[in-house]
Each structure stands twice: as C-alpha cells, then as structure tokens.
Amino acid sequence: MTKKFFFILFYATLAIASAENTSGIQTRTGDFPVHEMKTQNKKIVSLVAKEISQTLPQVIDKYTTLSSVVAKDITLVYTFNINTGSKSDTVVKKEDRSRMKKAVTVGVCQSSRKFLEAGINTSYVYLSAKTKVELFRFDISQKDCIGLVH
C-alpha cells in the first residue's frame, strides 16, 4: 500500500480517537452526537476509498484481485475478482462461502477495529473474474466482531 493510504488511515484513526477523547464524548457508548459522528464517518469513508482507489487494481494473491473500493454512506465497499479456475460459480458459492465468510470477518474485525467501533462498516464483495457474477457479499459491522477478536 502507498504512504498516502497509510497517512489517510492514520488521519482517520486520529479523528476517531479525538472524537473518543473529547471531554466526555465517547463513540463506543454512543454519547457523541449521532449527526456529527455520521458526517465525520462519511468524510473518512470517502477519503479512504479515494486514496485506496488510486492504487487499484491490486493483486492480493494468485486467485484474488482487489478491483475497486467505494464509499457508500458510512460503509467502505471493497470489490474483489476471484479466479475460480475450473470451478463453476455455483460450486464456489456452495463450497467456499462459510470458509470465506469466517476468514474475511475475522480479518476485518482485527484490521479495522477502530473503524468498526466508530460506526464505519465494511462490505466485501467477491465477483467471478470470468463471469462477473457475485459469488459472495460479506457486510461487516461492529456487532459481527463480538466474541471473535480480543
């Protein structure tokens, strides 16, 4: 990832931390004014999506490429293309969904903890590289992380 991305990520984390530490305002307990928090989160989501998008597409591994990141309200939507080889879309959906869901959820809960705690959600969309059919969609919010990560 680029230095700019890490700067944006640092800025976003700093903004969230500042909101948490502002005299008695705590985002985790919902004391921060909802409208202000949502406005701040929309800006953060937009900045992060814009910054990551400048480096796309990114090859993740020999099967997966991150093709886009977009801001949708307070959700970062990551879209990946998967090279499924000779497997059909139906077989991939049936055989790989639960394994993928667990791995993606645990990974997002670990890597995006501050975002999730601040009310910024994440959606991972996986498309077949061959057919462009949606194989999986995992929408992850803070509640999905309960009991998964310490």
pLDDT in tens, 30-66: 566 777 888 888 999 999 999 999 999 999 999 999 9
Average pLDDT, the chain: 82
Residue 58's pLDDT is what? 93
> For residues 110, 112, 117 and 119, what is the CA-based torsion angle, rounded to 10 degrees?
-140
**Residue 5 clears pLDDT 50, i.e. is over it:** no
The model carries a pTM of: 0.77
Q: Does domain 3-145 have CATH number 3.30.930.10?
A: no
In the chain, where does DSSP find H-type helix?
A: 3-21, 34-53, 89-111, 113-117
Which candidate, 113, 108, 139, 107, places its Cα nearest to that of 125?
139
